[in-house]
Structure 1
Amino acid sequence: MYAFLLATAVSGTAAAQAYQPDFDPGKLKGPARGPANEVMVLGSPHLSYFPKTFDPATLRGLEDRLAAWKPDMISIEALSGAQCDHVRRYPGRYKDTIETYCWDPAPARAATGLDVPAATAQAEEMLASWPANPSASQRRRLAALFLAGGERASATVQWLRLPEAERRAGDGLDDKLVEMLNKLKDRRDESILIAARLAARLGHEQVYAMDDHTADRMVADEAGWGAAIKKAWDNPAANKRRAAGKAVQEKLGTPEDVLAAYRVYNSPEEMRLAHQGDWGAALEELSPQRFGRQYVGYWETRNLRMAGNIRDAMTPRPGSRMLVVVGASHKGYLEAYLHQMHDVRVVDTAPMLK
C-alpha cells in the first residue's frame, strides 16, 4: 500500500511538472483595429546609492532619449498615497513597510485640512476638468492636493511646471510645503530626477505610483530569515552582478557614461544574473522554515501586483504609451507579466539606449 501511494504521489508530481496550460493570453493579442497599448520598462539603479560625486545633469542624455519615445504616461516605483493610507490601518503587519516606504503627509494635511481620501478625490476632480492652460494658482492647488494625498512625485511634476517666480506659498501650500517641494525636485531618486522631470518636460500633469507592498509581512524570526537569505545570496552569480554594478558606478562622469550604465542595467544578462544570484538561489535555500521560498513568494506577488497597477493605470486611455521607471531587478518580471496582457505590447529598451 505504501509503495502504491508513493508511486501515485511521484506520478502526480511528474504530471504537474509536465502540464502546460493550453490557454496563453500572451499569444492572443488585440485589438485587430486601433492602436495597441505600449509599455517600455526602464530598469534603473537606485540613484540614492550613486556616489556623491554623481552629477544629475548627466541624466539629461537619457532623458532626451526617453522624451523622443514620447510616452503618454509615466509610472514609478513608489507606493501610492492610497496604499500607504491602507497599510497604516494594519500596523501589526506593515510596521516596517510604513516606516520604510510611506511618507507621512501630516504637514500637507495640516496645511490643507484634507486627509488622504479627501485630497485624492479633490485632485481627481480637478484633473477631470483640467484646462488646457491652467493658472499658476491651479497648479499650486493641485500640488498641495497631491502632497496631502501622499503623491510627492506628482506634486513635484506640478512644481516643475510652474515658472520659478510662481513657486511660492499659496493655494494650500504653506512655507513648509514650499521648502519641501524645493528639496524634492533635486532629490537623488530616479522617480524624481528621471520620471518627474521627464513628465514635466512632456507636459504631463502627474506620474503614476505603481509599487506594491501589500505582500509584506512582519517576520517572527528576523535573525533566522536574514541569515538564510544572506547565505543564499553568497554565490558566483550574485558576486558577478555586484562587481558589474560597482564597475558601472565608478564611471559616471558624462551623459554617455550614464547611457552605457543603463545599457548594462537593461541587458538580458543583468536579469539572468539577478535571477541566478537572487531568487533562483533562494528557491534552493534549505532552512527548515523554507525562508527562501517564502521570500520568492513575496517577490513574485509584489511584481504581479505592480504589473496589475501599471495595467490599471493604462485602462482609461486605450492606445497609450506607458514608460515604467523601476529598479532594474523588477524589469524582467514586469516585462514577462505585462506580456501576458491581451492589450499590451512590451517595447524593447535596447534601440532607445543605443
Structure 2
Amino acid sequence: MFGRIGSVLVLGLCSTIALAATPAYTPSFHPDQLKDPPVGRPNQVLVLGSPHLSALPKSFAPDQLEPLLSRLEAWKPEVIGVEAVSGLQCDFMRRNPARYAESVTSYCVDTGPAQAATGLDVPAANAEAERLLASWPTSPSAADRRRLAAVWLAAGERNSAVVQWLRLPTGERTPADGLTPELVAYLDKRLQGRDESVLVAATLAARLGLERVWAVDDHTADSPTPKALEKASGEAIMKAWDNPYTKARAEADAVLEANLGKPGAMLALYRNYNAPEAALQAFHSDFGAALMEPSPQQFGRGYVGYWETRNLRMVANIRDVLGQAPGKRLLAIVGASHKGYYEAYLNQMHDVQLVDAGDVLR
C-alpha cells in the first residue's frame, strides 16, 4: 500500500515539475506588428503620466504648469481624455449599489442639482449634449455655452462643463440658460481646485478651441472587500509595497517636490514621470511586488487582477473614442502608474500610433 501511495506521490511531483518546465504557449498572432498605414490620417495617441495635483505640497501653484501647457498646446491634440468616470458609468454604478456604493461616493458627482435645473437625467442629458454638438454653431453665443455647460453637469460630465465655462468671458459666467446660482458657484469652485483634469486637460481644451474632454476612467472592476478581510488585505498589500523600489520612487518624488516653486520644476517633474524607465519602476514597486505577496488568500493577485482589468477598460474607452472619429491626435492624461499599461495595451491596436511624451516635453 505504501509503495502505491509513494509511487503516486512521485508521479504527481514529476507531473508538477514537468508542467512548470513546459514553455508557455505563445500565440502566433501579434496585432502590434500589423500596423499598415490606414486610409487617411493615423490615430496618434500621447499618453501623459501625471501626478495627482491634489496630492502635491502647498508650494505647487497652477501657474507653474505653464511650460507643460505650452508644449502640449504646440502638439495640438484634437481630443483629450482624462482619468474621470463618465456620467453614464456612474449612472450604471448607482443602479448597482451592493457592489458600487463606495465607488459612487468616491468617483461620481451628484447630478441632482443639475437635473433639477435642466429637467434631464444622466442618460437624457448625455443624449442632449450629443444633439447640441451635432449642430453646434461656428460662433456659439454665451447662451449656447451656458446651456451646454448646464447639460454637461446634468450628464455627469463636470470637466466638459468646465471647458465651456473657461470658453466664456468672465463677465458671461452668470446664472442663466439652465445654470442656477448653485451650479455657477460649483463651476467657479472647480476652477480653483488642484485637479489635473481641470488645470491641464480642461484648460488646454479651452485654449485649443475644443468643446469637451472625454472621461475614460473605469471603475466597474471595483468590488468591496468583505469586512472580515479588510484588515488582512490592507496589511498584505502594504507589506508588499514596502520594498526598495517604493523607497527609491518616494525619494525621487521628494527631491522633485522640494523644488516646486522654482522655474521649470513642474516640467521637470512631468519629464521624470514620463521617462522610459518609470513604468518598470512602478511595476517593481507596486504590481510586481503584489504578485509575489504570499498570503493564503492571494490578496496581491486579486489586486493585480483588478488593476489590469481597470486599465484594459480605460484603454477600451480611449479606443472607442478614436473609433468614432478616426485620424485624430488624442492626449490621454492619467495617473503616472497607469502610463505603462496604457501604452502597452494601446500598442496592441492596429490603428493606434503612440507618440513619445519625452519628445513633446523636451
Determine which of 28, 48, 65 is the counterpart of 2:54: 48
Structure 2 unaligned blocks of 5 or more: 1-7
State the partner residue of 1:288.
296
Q: Is the 8 A contact 1:62 1:255 kept in 2?
A: no
State the partner residue of 1:299.
307
Report the CA distance between 1:147 and its aligned residue. 0.2
Amino acid aligned to 2:316: G
> Do residues 114 (structure 1) and 140 (structure 2) align?
no
Secondary structure of 2:277 counterpart: helix
Distance 2:86 2:98 in 1: 20
State the partner residue of 1:80.
86
Distance 1:330 1:156 in 2: 24
After superposition, give the CA deviation of every residue in 1:44-82 in whole Å (9 maximum; x if it has no partner).
000001112311011011000000001110000000001
Distance 1:62 1:321 in 2: 17
Determine which of 67, 75, 81 is the counterpart of 1:69: 75
State the partner residue of 1:213.
219
Report the CA distance between 1:314 and its aligned residue. 1.0
> Do residues 132 (structure 1) and 109 (structure 2) align?
no
State the partner residue of 2:100.
94
Report the CA distance between 1:5 and its aligned residue. 4.4
Distance 1:245 1:296 in 2: 24
> Do residues 145 (structure 1) and 151 (structure 2) align?
yes
> Do residues 7 (structure 1) and 14 (structure 2) align?
yes
Q: Is the 8 A contact 2:81 2:214 kept in 1?
A: yes
After superposition, give the CA deviation of every residue in 1:240-274 in whole Å (9 maximum; x if it has no partner).
11111121111121451111111111112322221
Q: Is the 8 A contact 2:38 2:351 kept in 1?
A: no
Amino acid aligned to 1:353: L
Distance 1:57 1:298 in 2: 36
> Do residues 322 (structure 1) and 333 (structure 2) align?
no
Report the CA distance between 1:112 and its aligned residue. 1.2
Q: Is the 8 A contact 1:140 1:170 kept in 2?
A: yes
Higher gyration radius (CA)? 2
Q: Is the 8 A contact 1:119 1:149 kept in 2?
A: yes
Secondary structure of 2:45 counterpart: strand
TM-score normalised to structure 2 length: 0.95
Secondary structure of 1:305 counterpart: helix
Q: Is the 8 A contact 2:64 2:266 kept in 1?
A: yes
Amino acid aligned to 2:141: S
State the partner residue of 1:156.
162
Determine which of 236, 241, 244 is the counterpart of 1:228: 236
Distance 1:13 1:143 in 2: 58
Report the CA distance between 1:139 and its aligned residue. 0.6
* Percent identity over paired residues: 56
Secondary structure of 2:353 counterpart: strand
After superposition, give the CA deviation of every residue in 1:175-198 in whole Å (9 maximum; x if it has no partner).
000011111122100000000000
State the partner residue of 2:258.
250
Report the CA distance between 1:107 and its aligned residue. 1.2
Distance 1:262 1:18 in 2: 37
After superposition, give the CA deviation of every residue in 1:74-93 in whole Å (9 maximum; x if it has no partner).
00000000111111111111
Secondary structure of 1:308 counterpart: helix
Amino acid aligned to 1:112: T
Q: Is the 8 A contact 1:97 1:216 kept in 2?
A: yes
Report the CA distance between 1:2 and its aligned residue. 4.5
Secondary structure of 2:223 counterpart: coil
Determine which of 57, 60, 74 is the counterpart of 2:63: 57
Report the CA distance between 1:13 and its aligned residue. 4.1
Distance 1:297 1:37 in 2: 29
Distance 1:335 1:5 in 2: 41
Report the CA distance between 1:278 and its aligned residue. 0.4
Q: Is the 8 A contact 1:144 1:173 kept in 2?
A: yes
The verdict on how the C-alpha distance between 1:38 and 1:140 changes in structure 2, with shifts beyond 3 A counting, is same
Distance 2:310 2:81 in 1: 16
Distance 1:12 1:131 in 2: 64
Secondary structure of 1:313 counterpart: helix
Q: Is the 8 A contact 1:210 1:310 kept in 2?
A: yes
Distance 2:306 2:140 in 1: 42
Secondary structure of 2:245 counterpart: helix
Distance 2:243 2:235 in 1: 14
The verdict on how the C-alpha distance between 1:305 and 1:326 changes in structure 2, with shifts beyond 3 A counting, is same
Distance 1:81 1:93 in 2: 17
TM-score normalised to structure 1 length: 0.97
Report the CA distance between 1:31 and its aligned residue. 3.4
Determine which of 41, 44, 61 is the counterpart of 1:38: 44
